[in-house]
Structure 1
Amino acid sequence: MFYDRAKIYVKGGDGGNGCIAMRREKYVPFGGPWGGDGGRGGDVIFIADEGLNTLQDFRYKKHFKAQRGGHGMGKNMNGAAGEDLIVKVPAGTVVREAETGRLIADLVEGGQQVVVARGGRGGRGNVHFASGTNKAPRIAEKGEPGEELWVELELKLIADVGLIGFPNAGKSTFISMVSAAKPKIADYPFTTLVPNLGVVDAGDERSFVLADIPGLIEGASQGVGLGHEFLRHTERTRLLIHVVDTAGTEGRDPVEDIKIINRELALYDPQLAQRPQIIAANKMDIMPQAAENLERIKEAFGRQYEIFPVSAATGQGLTAIIHRVAELLEKLPKKEAAQPAEERLTVFQPAERFKIKRDIDGNWRVTGKEIERHVAMTYLEEEESVERLQRIMKLMGLEQGLLNAGVKEGDIVRIGNWEFEWTQ
């Protein structure tokens, strides 16, 4: 089964906890702090694999978590770093953040990779918190939580040439005759329900990848028929072969068919309308009116497109069109991967350090990546660590912010997964 969309959850590994330990050795009085640091968490990394051609694996497994870092230990021993989690996706996969639609990566070449969720840093051991006034601190940090998010994967086939046209125009027969692809062929609309790829040998050590895009119909740009499900597979192609039923065996006008499909391409993506295109006037061997319709096609589109009369069923004219396609591809540049917006333009926008609001039960909720990270990395069972957290909150302005919002003695303040009772 061909799957070209998936939604999955990814999480970088949490950092390991820093250790609270004191040096306890004979003949070493007042040895001081000796707790090691936690190791960093592993990253979740997507790698494009040219051997894959479907997102089917993500139908059954939707959660991917990298390994957390090892905890720090006594004797100033640091925890081991967590292993990165490698997730293989087909070449041609677009990765977006599900919540915002932000483009994370467009993986078009085999081996191309991107870090989708970074692991958290390891917490510092108490050896880092020694000072002239506190020579034996019971302060350390827990590991930083790894990044977590839902991502949407969208596969856009990577092909040099795309076959477009109405259902039953002969696209499947065309690709089966010029390549080793063996698509389902039958005499009814929408025989092809999934895109097919085939490698075409054009001779003289020239070859290209041809994609049979399932039949489009009027309204496809609005999602009618197979619509959006397969129009996106035309986006990466450098050249389009417009296969038209010249004989009109389905009772349609071939000239009008060409106009309709090109209009749908333009409505879906105006750039597609500018994509180089040649017309394969198919089924020239079936009906007597095919020759008449061919002249009408040449009259309507001859100045705009090259037109090749062919019969995909018998092989007539296919060699000429394949050689011409190979010549055109040598002159056309390859499509570049779309770059994430933040790589094209960087604008500094200082983020809010925290937000304060009322929960539905009347208690207080504080949100914000920075403050939630500080709380998550605090040993709340250690008094010194809690005092340090209070100092951080005061420096951030959170304490004053809560007072301004109207917090009172005994109120519950929630930060992340933790609750605190407000005291003056």
Structure 2
Amino acid sequence: MKFVDEAIVTIRSGSGGAGCVSFRRERFIEKGGPDGGDGGDGGDVILRVDPSKRTLYEYRRQKRLSAKNGASGLGRQKHGKNGSHCILTLPPGTIVFDAQTSQVIADLTDPDKEIVVAQGGMGGRGNKRFASSTNRVPRFAQPGIPGVEMKLRLELKLMADVGLVGLPNAGKSTLISAMSAARPKIADYPFTTLNPTIGMVEAPFGEPFAVADIPGLIEGAHEGVGLGIKFLKHIERTGILVHLIDSGDIDPENPLAQFQLINNELSMHSDTLANKTQVVVLNKLDLTGTKNRVEAFKDALPDQTIFTISAATGEGVKPLIKHLAQLLQALAPEDK
């Protein structure tokens, strides 16, 4: 159920600057000694973990990234300026592969960790460095060492930011289709979703976030009944749970029956799930006869913010996405 976000980028470290061939030019001194300075070192390509990032979104657009070359040395023994580094800021959980060999270069998990993945070339030495008792006027200098170019495959493995939970046929697959570009199988019978689906949702602000549609939960799921049990342990790592309820199935005499059943399964599985931030969403408002059922549910849960939507028509989906984006931004890093 891990969401895998990938990007391939070509990176290149900076080349070292060339050493300088230069001689002193002083008044009344016809042939001064060598004074060529060294070239500057090329910039490194550095991988840096940034806990505030959740996706590799920006690197799908940037296909080539380069550090700056070192500047050439100058006369009067002036050292060339070093090239600036190229820093790739990546979310925790990013695995970096050599795209040619598939060898793992780095597994970035620690916050604020930095790794030099391609070192810049060393600057060449100026002719001042080559002066000796046998060669007082060297007319040569070293060129800079070229930078390193390689292709990296970035793979992010993480749990979704938001998990959709509810009874089978509550409309989770339809909702994830309405929120994202994911296209899970949708049909009007239980257990259409046999495998989790991850969709990336474009938020109105901030980075996109990942939403997981897991198979519907039924009574006894925590004991292995139904299809949802093997996924319960995975949604422990989501930041938020969207509790989706089919408003057409709400019993006006016992409006919280579905809501309490699912919450019982979550709490029986683990305290972690029981204490997750939860957004309650009543779906299928497009069906006739749901108004009274929705009101009965709201009356039975007066202190809970409840979203009412129709995933099929898109009604109410945008405000829900905005609310989820706000909640994700407010979550502490350890809760995400």
> TM-score normalised to the size of structure 2?
0.57
Partner Cα separation in structure 1 for residue 47 and residue 109 of structure 2: 12
1:29 is displaced (CA, Å) by: 4.8
Residue aligned with 2:111, SS: coil
- Show the 5 A alignment for 1:391-402: none
Instruction: Quote the sequence identity (%).
Output: 33
Taking the aligned partners of 1:212 and 1:148, their CA distance within structure 2 comes to: 36
Q: How does 1:138-287 map to 2 (within 5 A)?
A: 138-157=139-158, 188=187, 189=192, 192-194=197-199, 213-215=212-214, 244-246=217-219, 255=225, 257=227
Which residue is equivalent to 1:12?
13
Distance change in 2, residues 1:40/1:326 (3 Å): same
Tell me how far 1:316 sits from its aligned partner: 3.8
1:325 counterpart (247, 266, 272)? 272
Q: Distance in 1 between matches of 2:273 and 2:197?
A: 25
Counterpart contact for 2:266–2:273, Cα < 8 Å: no
Q: Distance in 1 between matches of 2:121 and 2:168?
A: 54
Q: What secondary structure sits across from 1:86 in the alignment?
A: strand
Whole-angstrom distance in 1 between the partners of 2:137 and 2:211: 71
RMSD: 5.1
Whole-angstrom distance in 2 between the partners of 1:38 and 1:48: 31
Q: Quickly say closer, same or farther: Cα 1:139–1:72, change in 2 above 3 A.
A: same
SS at match of 1:194: strand
Query: Aligned partners of 1:326 and 1:193: how far apart in 2?
Result: 19
Match of 2:69 in 1: 68
Cα distance in structure 1, aligned partners of 2:172 and 2:37: 64
Deviation of the 1:95 alpha carbon: 0.8
Deviation per residue, 1:145-199 (Å, 9 max, x gap): 111100000011167x99799x9587969xx9xxxxx977996445944278xxx
Consecutive unaligned residues in structure 2, runs of 5 or more: 202-209, 235-243, 250-256, 276-336
**Is the contact made by 1:45 and 1:115 (CA closer than 8 Å) also made in structure 2?**
yes
Q: 1:34 to 1:153 in 2, by over 3 A?
A: same
Give the structure, 1 or 2, with the largest relative contact order (CA under 8 Å, sep 6 or more). Answer: 2
Q: Distance in 2 between matches of 1:163 and 1:41?
A: 45
Aligned-partner residue type, residue 194 of structure 1 = G
Within 5 Å, give how 1:25-424 maps onto structure 2.
Answer: 25-157=26-158, 188=187, 189=192, 192-194=197-199, 213-215=212-214, 244-246=217-219, 255=225, 257=227, 311=258, 316-317=263-264, 320-321=267-268, 324-325=271-272
| Residues 371-395 of structure 1, C-alpha deviations (whole Å, 9 max, x = no match) | xxxxxxxxxxxxxxxxxxxxxxxxx
Q: Say if 1:111 and 1:164 are closer, same or farther in 2 by CA, change over 3 A.
A: same
Task: Check whether the contact 2:23–2:36 (CA below 8 A) recurs between aligned residues.
Answer: yes
Contact 2:219–2:261 (Cα < 8 Å) also in 1: no
Q: Please give the alpha-carbon distance, in whole angstroms, between the structure 1 residues aligned to 2:170 and 2:134.
A: 84
Number of aligned residue pairs: give it.
247
Q: Deviations over 1:181-236 (max 9, x none)?
A: x977996445944278xxxxxxxxxxxxxx864558xxxxxxxxxxxxxxxxxxxx
Q: Residues 121 and 147 of structure 2 are in contact (CA less than 8 Å); yes or no, is this contact kept in structure 1?
A: yes
Deviation at 1:322, TM superposition (A): 7.5
Secondary structure of residue in 1 paired with 2:107: strand
Checking the alignment, whether the CA contact within 8 Å between 2:50 and 2:89 is kept in structure 1 is yes
CA shift for structure 1 position 44: 1.2
SS in 2 for 1:114: strand
Q: TM-score, normalised by structure 1?
A: 0.46
